[in-house]
Structure 1
Amino acid sequence: MKIAIILNSFPKISEKFLLNHLIGLVNAGCDIHIFAARKFPQEPYHGIYYDNHMDRYTTWLGIPYKPLPRFLKAPVLFLRLFARNPRAAFEALKFGKYRTVAKNCKLLYFGNAFHGKHFDIVHCHFGPNGLIGTYLKECGYADRVITAFHGSDINSYPKRYGQDVYRILYEKCDLFTANTAYTRGKMVENGCDEQLIRIVPESLIASEYDGVDGSSRIPQSVLTVGRLEEKKGHTYALRAIAKIREFFPDLRYYMVGSGTLDKDLRDQATALGILDICDFVGSCTGEKVKEFYGTCEVFTLPSVTASNGDKEGQGLVIQEAQICGMPVVTTRHNGIPDGLLDGETGYLVEEADVDALADKLKLLLENEQLRRSFGKKGKTFVSSKYDIAVITKTLEVCYNEVLETTAR
């Protein structure tokens, strides 16, 4: 079967789960071609991107970030598409039907990119790209469409663009996947047919972490990996670190990731008197992140619901930490509870509960035997449930299922 994958920026440091997914499909022998709106400008990318020559499978459409240059090119794109496929050209202008992806001219770019091509399945990552896939199916470029929801596309996107923004997607898409049961529930609330949703977690490549044995961990070290954005909960982690500092003279807190709250979080650390023990590492490739997983003692991601309604999706870094033998402390938030064994591989606390977060961090930092026990169980749990080989088989079942049913 021929499969087209629809992405936004690719490859993106913060979306390694997509890279894992694509490599899994390639290794399984699937005939894939990636269509990405643009190439993420920040290099270097993750090493597995280069090792697996993912550029060979990818077409970048070069869609500008800024609206003005995108709109200025729209007339040329329309005329070109009209000459090739008049139906596709006029379909791309149905703003009421395709909503945001028609208004921002993306359909004109994708319509031209798919000219002369046909795929058995278009697999779209994130809800808005599912609208693009629906358009491609309507224009005859694909037989079936699968749309994968990852969290923010259902938690905040409908609030911003209208609760009915996915109406045509829910009517025409052949199958949906959700990364967690929570995401599935939000999709159903928004109008998606529950019978068409399959749970497919974001995956990791377990063998990629074989060399991480944790034999030389830094005493009294805590790690967070995630963009410096509100929903990641760094502000609560800093407050928890401040509460337990007096018990651990060598305490260090490493924050891997960049984002809009960088300055605010540095200011907060200064106000709390802990800037000297906080390392703002910035963005890192997967290879560098593995070093932190292998050298820190405890992982925390105290995710919360952001003020704009945005929420964590699955939090794949929680599984990455566990497969590297790290106990984790995180929150009862969205689909996060599905991704660990509470009291066995880590601890769950309520959102924004700084005291509970501090207590669990303190408990794990004080108890090496407990850390080792949690770490061992975490490796087994993640390997059996989240490895790319397991998830790819699940996806292949979805592909076969959708091809065996009548198109919507």
Structure 2
Amino acid sequence: MKIAFIVQWFPALSESFILSQIAHMIDRGHTVEIISQYRTHETLLHPSITQYDLLSKTAFAFSIPRNKILRRLKAVALSAACFFASPRRTVRLLRACWHGGNRFDFPSLFLGLKCIGKSFDVLCAHFGPSGNSGLALKRIGIAPKLIAAFHGYDIRMALAGDRNLYRELFGGADRLLANSQYTQDRLLELGADPSIVQVHPMGIDLAQFPLRDRSIRPQDRELLILTVGRYVPEKGLEFGIRAFARLASRFSHQKARYEIIGFGPEEDKLGRLIRELRLQEVVFLAGPKNHTEVIERLYQADLFLLPSVSEALGVVLLEAQAAGLPIVATETDGIPFAVIPGKSALLVPPADADALADKLCWLIDNPRTWPDMIKAGREHVEAYFNIRKLNEALESLCFQLCQGAKIENRKSAIETD
């Protein structure tokens, strides 16, 4: 098969689950290209980028001028140039990007014009906005089949703004994938056809997480609490820092440190909070790390904390369970789907630093509960989030769509396990 993966940003270090799907398809002998709306300037790259030479397989959309007049002039010029090469597709693309009145989808136009001469068997679009662009590509004949995968933030965009944002996509996609039960429920709430929606979580490669002995930590060793996540409001990192401050005041005899791996626009704000609470010696914004470094740090940690106020799934929760970490997290959105509440993770209401601190303190006071939590978490990930099985399920779905076979209305890809 010829498969195109449509993404918003590439390469994106935090989206290793997409890279895993791409690598799987290449390993299985399929021809794969990546179509990206924007190019990132990340210096830390996932090993798959170089291993599979993915940048050479990537088409980036034409840049979109911020100025409205320049944007329209560039759109006219590019459309005219493409018209001579492919008149029918160019006209179809212009029609597909116009939604009546002054509503024109410039991102999809600039992406579609870049791909005007390409052809694929199936398009796999990650995140709702990419799905909208994929629909435009499908309508002009670049591929007959379209799969759109939703991951959470795209759903929040529609719920908080235009609830019709994906209306046309719901009618034109061949399959809609949700990364959790929460995301699936929100898709149905927005009007998606239940017959084409299924849960397909973003799993992890368990081969990267070998089982290791997690003996009870000696009392005199420094305890490491770890969070991995972007420095953005929905991750609730402020509440994680405040929770650690409460923990530190209760356990003055306990050496402990809190590390937050990630990057994002709230870095300065979080740094100020750390200084305000006088936690500079024990709380650290560790910055971005590549995937290998994140895994290494997961094995070095004692407890994992995810204080998100909104989280459609939380792939890092899967990695923490695979690495054998007891977890404290919030009971929000898709997190209860990613863990076993009360068994592999202790969950509290979001935006509640006191509750987070209470659960962390309880785990520190009860280290003999850790082995059972570790066992439950590992078994949960092995049963439902094995990326190799999930990638095989995606490949099978692509085959069925391309062959025109009737697809069983399976609620979740994990039922194939």
Q: TM-score, normalised by structure 2?
A: 0.88
Q: CA deviation at 1:176?
A: 0.6
Q: Would you say 1:378 and 2:377 are equivalent positions? A: yes
CA RMSD of aligned residues (A): 2.6
One-letter identity of the residue aligned with 2:269: D
Aligned residues: 399
Which of 276, 279, 297 is residue 274 of structure 1 equivalent to? 279
More moved, 83-92 vs 321-330: 83-92
Q: Which SS does the other structure have where 2:325 is aligned? A: coil
Match of 1:260 among 244, 249, 265: 265
Q: Give the distance between the partners of 1:109 and 1:290, measured in 2 at CA.
A: 35
| Contact 1:7/1:129 (<8 A) preserved | yes
Corresponding residue for residue 36 of structure 1: 36
Q: CA deviation at 1:296?
A: 1.0
Give how far 1:331 is off: 1.1
Residue 37 of structure 1 aligns to a residue whose secondary structure is strand
The 1:299–1:67 alpha-carbon spacing in structure 2 relative to 1, beyond 3 Å, is farther
Q: Any idea what the Cα deviations from partners look like across 1:180-220, whole Å, max 9, x if unmatched?
A: 11111111111111111011001222112238766798632
- Which region of structure 1 is more displaced relative to structure 2, 176-185 or 215-224? 215-224
Which runs of 5 or more residues in structure 2 are unaligned? 408-417
What does residue 412 of structure 2 align with?
A: none
Q: Does 1:325 align with 2:320?
A: no
- The one-letter code matched in structure 2 to 1:48 is S
1:148 Cα offset (Å): 0.5
Give the aligned residue type for 1:239: R
What does residue 287 of structure 1 align with?
292
Q: Which amino acid aligns with 1:139?
A: I
User: Is 1:131 paired with 2:168?
Assistant: no
- 2:414 maps to which residue? none
Q: 1:270 to 1:405 in 2, by over 3 A?
A: same
Match of 1:83 in 2: 84
- Determine the structure 2 residue equivalent to 1:235: 238
Query: Which sits farther off after the overlay, 15-24 or 130-139?
Result: 15-24
Between 1:39-48 and 1:335-344, the stretch displaced more is 39-48
Look up the SS of the partner of 1:363 in the other structure.
Answer: helix
CA contact (8 A) 2:5 2:34 kept: yes
Structure 1, residues 319-352: CA drift from partner, whole Å, max 9, x if none? 1111111111111111110111122211111112
User: Map of 1:6-25 to 2, 5 A cutoff?
Assistant: 6-25=6-25
Query: Any unmatched runs of 5+ in structure 1?
Result: 305-310
Deviation at 1:141, TM superposition (A): 1.2
- Map of 1:174 onto structure 2: 174
Provide the residue aligned with 1:298 in structure 2.
Answer: 303
Corresponding position: 1:187 with 2:192: no
Distance of aligned partners of 1:212 and 1:49 in 2 relative to their CA distance in 1, 3 Å threshold = farther
Tell me the SS of whatever aligns to 2:320. helix
CA contact (8 A) 1:101 1:128 kept: no
| Identity rate, percent | 30
Partners of 2:314 and 2:82 lie apart in 1 by: 40
Show the counterpart of 2:105.
103
Following the alignment from structure 1 to structure 2, what is the Cα–Cα distance between the partners of residues 296 and 125?
31
**Could you tell me how far 1:56 is from its partner in structure 2?**
4.5
Distance across 2 between alignment mates of 1:366 and 1:313: 30
- Deviation, structure 1 residue 111: 3.1
| Cα distance change on mapping 1:48 and 1:211 into 2, 3 Å | farther
- Residue 275 of structure 1 aligns to a residue whose secondary structure is coil
Aligned to 2:342, what secondary structure does the other structure show? Answer: coil
SS at match of 1:303: coil
C-alpha distance after superposition, 1:344-400 (max 9, x if no partner): 211111112222211111122233332233223322321232122111122123223
Deviates more, 1:294-303 or 1:202-211: 202-211
**Letter of the structure 1 residue corresponding to residue 313 of structure 2:** Q
Residue 48 of structure 1 deviates from its aligned partner by 3.2
The 3 A distance-change label for structure 1 pair 134 and 273 is: same
> What's 1:119 paired with?
120
Equivalents in 1 of 2:108, 2:5: separation in Å?
A: 15
Q: Distance in 2 between matches of 1:406 and 1:99?
A: 38
Q: In the alignment, what sits opposite 2:143?
A: 142
For residues 99 and 199 of structure 1, the distance between their equivalents in structure 2, rounded to whole angstroms, comes to 36
CA deviations 1:34-54 (Å, max 9, x no partner) are 112233211120223323433
Please list the CA deviations of residues 132-182 of structure 1 after superposition, one character each: whole Å capped at 9, or x if unmatched. Answer: 11111111111111111111111124533x221212111111111000111
Please name the residue that 2:157 is paired with.
156
Out of 128-137 and 368-377, give the one that drifted further: 368-377
Amino acid at match of 1:73: K
Query: Equivalents in 1 of 2:116, 2:134: separation in Å?
Result: 11
**Aligned residue number for residue 227 of structure 2:** 224
Native 8 Å contact 1:269 1:278 kept in 2: yes
Partner AA of 1:396 in structure 2: E
Report the secondary structure of 1:391's partner residue: helix
In structure 2, C-alpha distance between the alignment counterparts of 1:133 and 1:271, rounded to whole Å: 47
Q: Give 2:313's aligned residue.
A: 314
Kindly indicate whether the alpha-carbon contact (under 8 Å) linking 2:8 and 2:129 is maintained by their aligned counterparts in 1: no
Q: Deviations over 1:284-312 (max 9, x none)?
A: 111111121011111111111xxxxxx32
